[in-house]
Structure 1
């Protein structure tokens, strides 16, 4: 789910050179799957160990005539269980799972948004998670004047940075915070319909500052 989802962007980038105004901008590509291994803090507590797997996606790249899709896997389209079902199968709490404001690259067509997820172990547990995340150092690139999407971040809720690859421990009381990358924009931001910018503002998909800085919009 790392290399396999990056390959389509490489192929589409090559096709763009021969077929302009046809293929989308780059997207988040790699899935941000989380494999959580919850372990009791006290081995003598008789609490059971548990394994939880979550499938998570960032934003897709904007298309020549349409915005990118938010929190959507491309090209696989794979989805995950509901938060309620996930919490039912393991001793974790998902405190937050919502769209990441402003993460889609600006453009005539805006890139799809990533999402923000915060996870904490329940009382009596720590958890390990296996990170295999991408688009942290190299965000999704915009196309034909569109801006890059926001890069991903892996950290604790207190701001402590974590690695984007490898097995890591989150102790009880700490929250893992994943900020999934957004898709790249398509076309010059100055060409975006002001009505679409206003709609993005109302839906809190972009901030007032982004509307001004990226689109010169003051609604």
Structure 2
């Protein structure tokens, strides 16, 4: 997308989408407390990298859960291109700050929430060429929280 901002909340290039939260909660004893765009996660550039997501999941009372982690871009964030800045790396952790591995089977104990801070995409082009209007739009939508990147 060399002339548009990156796609947010998507796994490029696969474009895999998850099932709706309601269907996920219906199939198992879990609650998804939050699923939202991750501010400041897309790399700066003339065209901003797509934003990652923050997803917060907890087992219902009296339950715990295991999951198979297959997260990329945790140790190596997405690179920018043509002068664009890299995206922000992902984080897999529990709500008490315990870091989890990005790959392999993981256990979330009862009473703990799994927090997935999914990575953002790299920016494209020189950040100095990003328009004032585009930056203002990003701030107004909460995509970025800084005045100047």
Shorter chain as denominator, the TM-score bin is: over 0.9
Alignment RMSD (CA, Å): 0.9
CA distance in 2, matches of 1:138, 1:77: 20
Q: How does 1:46-61 map to 2 (within 5 A)?
A: none
Q: How does 1:136-151 map to 2 (within 5 A)?
A: 136-151=74-89
CA distance in 2, matches of 1:72, 1:187: 21
1:75 Cα deviation from its structure 2 partner: 2.5
CA distance in 1, matches of 2:83, 2:21: 37
Structure 1 length-normalised TM: 0.66
Greater helix fraction, Structure 1 or Structure 2: 1
Secondary structure in structure 2 of the residue aligned to 1:190: helix
CA distance in 2, matches of 1:135, 1:91: 29
Q: What is aligned with 1:58?
A: none
Q: What is aligned with 2:132?
A: 194
Unaligned 5+ runs, structure 1: 1-62, 215-219
CA distance in 2, matches of 1:89, 1:173: 19
CA distance in 2, matches of 1:64, 1:170: 40
Q: What is aligned with 1:130?
A: 68
Q: Over alpha carbons, which structure has the higher Rg?
A: 1
CA distance in 2, matches of 1:73, 1:152: 12
| Structure with bigger RCO (C-alpha 8 Å, 6+ apart) | 2
The count of aligned residue pairs is 149
1:76 Cα deviation from its structure 2 partner: 2.6
CA distance in 1, matches of 2:59, 2:23: 15
Q: What is aligned with 2:40?
A: 102
CA distance in 1, matches of 2:17, 2:69: 18
1:97 Cα deviation from its structure 2 partner: 0.4
Secondary structure in structure 2 of the residue aligned to 1:177: strand
Question: Per-residue displacement from partner, 1:34-77 (whole Å, max 9, x unpaired)?
Answer: xxxxxxxxxxxxxxxxxxxxxxxxxxxxx221100001232232
